[in-house]
Structure 1
Amino acid sequence: YESGESMILGPEIVQETTEKIKMIREKIRASQSRQKSYHDKRKKDLEFQEGDHVFLRVTSTTGVGRALNRGS
Structure 2
Amino acid sequence: MAPFEAIYRRSCKSALCWNERDRTFNGPKLIRKTSEVVATVRQRTRTAQSRQKSYADKRRRPLEFEIGNEVFLKLSPMKSIYRMGKAHKLSPRYIGPYKIIGRIGKVTYRVAIPP
TM class by shorter-chain length? 0.5 to 0.7
Corresponding residue of 2:32 = 15
User: What secondary structure, in the 3-state scheme, does the structure 2 residue paired with 1:55 have?
Assistant: strand
TM-score by length of structure 1 reads 0.60
Where do 5+ consecutive residues of structure 2 fail to align? 1-25, 77-115
Corresponding residue of 2:46 = 29
How many residue pairs get aligned? The number is 53
Corresponding residue of 1:41 = 58
Instruction: Output the aligned Cα RMSD.
Output: 2.1
Query: Equivalents in 1 of 2:65, 2:43: separation in Å?
Result: 40
Deviation by residue 1:29-49 (Cα, 9 ceiling, x = unmatched): 111111111000000111224
Q: Give me the identity figure in percent.
A: 45
